[in-house]
A and B are shown apart, each in its own frame.
Chain A
Amino acid sequence: MHQLLNAFKPTEITLPNGKKVLEPKSPVLLYVLLVLALTFFFIELTGFNLQTIQRRGHQFFVLLENMFPPNGNYAPSVWVPLIDTVKMSLLGTFIGAMISIPFALLASTNITKSKFLILFSRFLFSLIRTIPTLVTALVATFILGFGTTAGTVAIALFTFGFVGKLLYEQIETVDMGAYEAVESMGGNKSRAFAVAIIPQVMPRFLSNTLFCFEGNVRHAAILGMVGAGGIGLIFNTQLALRNYGNVGMILMMMFAVVFIIEVISRFTRSKLV
C-alpha cells in the first residue's frame, strides 16, 4: 500500500548545489487505473463474457451463410427503393447544406457582432447534431406520414448540423484582409462577403457537403427501418420474412451503389481541396 501511494508522490531530487526540487509524477498511472476500474464495472454491467463468444461464436456466421448466394431474381424490385434512397439523400443533403449557410454566418464571430445571435445559432447547431437521426426520422414520419419525405427531412436536419458546424469554424479562420479591403473600397457587407469570403470557404464547404452525402446514403438505409422510406423499408420486410437470399441481394446492390458514390465523391473532393 505504501509503495502504491509512493507512485503518485513527486520524487525528490537533490541538485549538485544542495537544493532540493520535486519532480511531479506523470498522472498517466492514475488515468490507467481509472479506465481499468470503469472497464471492469462496465463489463459487469453489460454481461460481457468471452466464453459465450467462444461457445456460440459460430452462430454469428449463420445469417451470413443464409444470405449467400444472393437471390438474383429479386434485383428488379430492389432498384426503385434503392434509387429512392439515393434521391432522398441527394435532396436532403442539398437542402440541409443550403439552410446551414445563413446560420453558419450568424455563428461566426468575425462576421456577426451580436453575442446573442452567435450563441443562439451555435446552440441550434449542437442541439440538432445531438439528437440521433433515428429520432428525427421517427418524429418526421409521425408528422409527415410514412415515406421518403420524412427521410428527406431527417437527412436535411442531420446535414444542417454537420455541415453548418464545419462551415462556421471554416469562416472564422478565413483571412479577413480581403474583406476589409472590399469594405474600404466602398463595397457593402454582402458584396464583401460574396467576393472575399465565399471563394475562400467554397471548396471546403463543397467537399464537406459531398462527404456528408456519402455518409447520408449509408444512413438512409437505416432510416427506412423506422418507416422513412427507401431501401430500409424492403430490407426490414425481407428480414422479417426471413428471405435471407433477398436480404443478401439488397446488401450487395447497396454496397455497389455506395461504392460508386464514394468513388465519384472522393475523386471530386480530391479536385476541390
Chain B
Amino acid sequence: MNAMQKQLILEPKSGRYKLLIFILILTALLWSSSTLEFSASGMGGAVIARNIFLGIFNPDTAILFNWQNGVPFLLLETLAIAFVGTLVGSILAIPLAFLSSQNVVGRPISYVTSLFIMAIRTIPVFVYGLMFIRVTGPGPFAGLLTMALASVGMLSKLFAETIEELDTGIIESLDAAGCNGFEKIRYGVIPQLASDFLSTVIYRFDMNIRDVAVLGLVGAGGIGAPLIFAMNSHRWNEAGAIIIGLILLVFIIEWLSTRIRKKLARG
C-alpha cells in the first residue's frame, strides 16, 4: 500500500450523506412535479407560438420609430420612472441605513429598523402600485413612487453593510488632528462611503429598469401596460416592437452600469 492509497482511505466517507441529499432532492422534485399538466392547448399552442415568433421578428415599424407617442416615448418614460424612483428610493434609504447599522446606533435600534425594512420588503411591488394609485391617480407618478419604495429594502441593506465596514481609524486620526464634526464627515466618512453607495444605486437602477414592466399590471405607467395590452389582444407585431425597444434599453443600461461600476470599484 503506497502513500497515495493511504491518503485515499483517510478521506472522509460522505457517501451516506450524499445519498441522503440526493433522496431529499428527488422527493422534492417528485412532490412538485404535479404542477406540470399538459392538457388544454395542444395544437392551438403551436399555432400561437408561430404567430408570436413571426410578430416579434416583424416588429411594427410605425410604432417602433414614432417619436410622438410610440416606443421611444414609452422607453423615455420607463427610464424616467426608474431614474427618479431610484433617486427617491436612495434618499429614503440613507437615513434608514444609518439607523440600521450596529456601529452607528447600537444593537436595539438597529434591530428595530431592520425589522421595519423587512416589513417594507414583504409587500409585493404591485400592491404598492395599487396603494400609490390611490394617492396620485394612475400614471408614471404612481410608478415612480412604487419603484422608490420597492428599492428602499435592498438599498438600505447594502448601504448598511458599507457603513458597518467603515474604517474608524481615519475618523479618529482626523479627531486627533483637531477637525470638527463637519470636517470629520466631509473628509473621513463621505469619501469612504461615496463610491460604494453610488455603485449600489446604479445597480438598483439597472434592476428597476427591468422591473418597470411589472407596474403596467396595475396601470402605474411605463412600458408594461401597452405591452400587456398588445399581447392580450394578440397584436404580436406591436408587442414585438415594444419588446425589441425594451431589450435594447436594458442592454444599453446594463452595459453602461457595468462600466461605471467597474470604474468605481477600481477607484
Contacts and interface: CB of A to CB of B under 8 A. Distances in A.
Contact of B135 (A53, A132, A143): A53
Interface in B80-112: 80-81, 83-84, 87
Interface residues of A, number: 57
B139 A91 contact: no
Contact of A139 (B52, B84, B126, B140): B52
Interface of B is mostly: helix
B4 to A, nearest CB: 12
Interface in A91-129: 91, 94, 126-127
Interface residues of B, number: 62
A5 interface: no
A46 B52 contact: no
A91 B251 contact: no
Contact of B35 (A59, A149, A258): A149
B185 interface: no
Given A131-B243, A143-B41, A143-B48, A56 B77 contact: no
B210 A132 contact: yes
A127 B247 contact: yes
A221 B124 contact: yes
A251 interface: yes
A157 interface: no
B48 A132 contact: no
Interface in A126-150: 126-127, 130-132, 134-135, 138-139, 142-149
B170 interface: no
A251 B80 contact: no
B45 interface: yes
B250 interface: yes
Given A138-B228, A255-B122, A91 B84 contact: no
B257 to A, nearest CB: 13
11 contacts: A46-B84, A53-B135, A53-B136, A59-B134, A59-B135, A64-B131, A144-B41, A145-B39, A222-B124, A251-B123, A251-B124
Given A46-B141, A146-B40, 19 more contacts: A39-B87, A42-B80, A42-B83, A46-B84, A49-B136, A56-B135, A63-B130, A90-B29, A91-B36, A135-B213, A135-B231, A144-B45, A147-B37, A148-B36, A149-B35, A218-B124, A221-B124, A251-B123, A254-B124
